[in-house]
Amino acid sequence: MDLFEYILVITSVIYALAIAQILSGIGRLAQTEATIRRFLPHTLWVVILFVCILMFWWAGWEFRAVEWAFPKYLYIMITPIFMFYAASLIIPARTDGQEVNLKKHFSKIKGPVLWSFFIALLTQFADGPLLASEPLWFSGRVIQAVLLCVVIWGVFVKNEQLQAVPPIGVLLFLVFVSLTRLWTPGVIE
């Protein structure tokens, strides 16, 4: 086992635990006898976190040629830690009682979840120039900056109807990235 594989193991474990948080939360919701009041923005953010965890883990392969040192290791741990934190909050821990109100739950955890997601995205976008040979500026940085602004907007938007707009924007970005960059690890524009 080389150093990259060693580092990848711990990030993989944290990402796997984040996925387990989301899937077990969905399982709790499916099994509860309580009435579930769904909320579209909450559901969209659950999907986004799940998909991003998979994409971030996949993108980690791009760093197999990095000369690893402890500061780089600490940096690479930021994204999985913040994604795990967001995943641990996104679905209510308790589903017993008469009603599970996902709108109320989302309004309570929206700030910490979206700020965690923002930090994870920011570190993910900056890892190429910091850890490898990705240029500081390339055409994709504009859309990354827009995505970061959309997530920040999601933190502050109060209007119920508008709360679905930021996650829809993020989902469109994920589809774009999936189709243009992440089919094959190591592809850089």
Q: Tell me, what DSSP letter sits at residue 94?
A: -
Cα 50 from Cα 69, distance rounded (Å): 29
- Give pLDDT tens digits for 105-154: 999 999 999 999 999 999 998 988 898 888 888 777 888 888 999 999 99
How long, in residues, is the chain? 189
Instruction: Report pTM.
Output: 0.90
CA distance 123 to 60: 12
CA–CA distance, 113 with 120 (Å, rounded to integer): 11
Q: What is the dihedral of CA 152, 155, 156, 161, to 10 degrees?
A: 110
48-52, 95-99, 104-108: lowest mean pLDDT where? 95-99
**Where exactly are the structural domains of the chain?**
3-180
